[in-house]
Amino acid sequence: MCGRFQLELTMEDIINLLDVIGEVKERYQEDRLSSFVQEKKDFHPGSLSVTVDKNGLHKNLWGFPLGKKLVFNARQETLFEKPFFRQAVLKERCLVPATLFYEWQGKEKIKHLIRTEEPLFFMGAVKEKFPDSSGSITEHFSIITTASEGEMKKIHERTPFILDKKDIRRFLDPKASPDEIKEILNKKNLNLLIERASNEEQLSFF
Residues 149-154: contacts with CB within 8 Å, 24+ apart?
149/188, 149/189, 150/192, 151/192, 151/194, 152/103, 152/114, 152/192, 152/194, 154/105
DSSP the chain: --S-EEEEE-HHHHHHHHHHHT--GGGS-HHHHHTT-EEEEEE-TT-EEEEEETTEEEEEEESEEETTEEE-EEEGGGTTT-HHHHHHHHH-EEEEEESEEEEEETTTTEEEEEEESSSSEEEEEEEEEEE-TTS-EEEEEEEEEEE--GGGGGT-SEEE-B--GGGHHHHH-TT--HHHHHHHHTSPPPPEEEEEPPHHHHT---
| Positive or negative torsion for Cα 157, 158, 163, 167 | positive
Q: How confident is the model at residue 199 (pLDDT cuts 50, 70, 90)?
A: low
Rg (CA), the chain: 17
pLDDT digits (tens, 9 = 90+) for 124-163: 999 999 998 888 999 999 999 999 999 999 999 999 999 9
What is the per-residue pLDDT for 141? 98
Residues making up the chain, counted from first to last: 206
Statement: residue 20 has pLDDT above 90: no
What is the per-residue pLDDT for 104? 93
The model scores a pTM over 0.85: yes
Triad 194, 60, 43: Cα angle to 5°: 35
Distance between CA 181 and CA 186 in Å, rounded?
A: 9
Superfamily, domain 5-101+119-191: SOS response associated peptidase-like (3.90.1680.10)
pLDDT digits (tens, 9 = 90+) for 59-80: 999 999 998 899 999 999 999 9
Distance between CA 47 and CA 140 in Å, rounded?
A: 10
CA torsion angle 179 180 181 182 (round to 10): 50
Question: Of 91-95, 129-133, 201-205, where does the model show the most confidence?
Answer: 91-95
Statement: residue 200 has pLDDT above 80: no
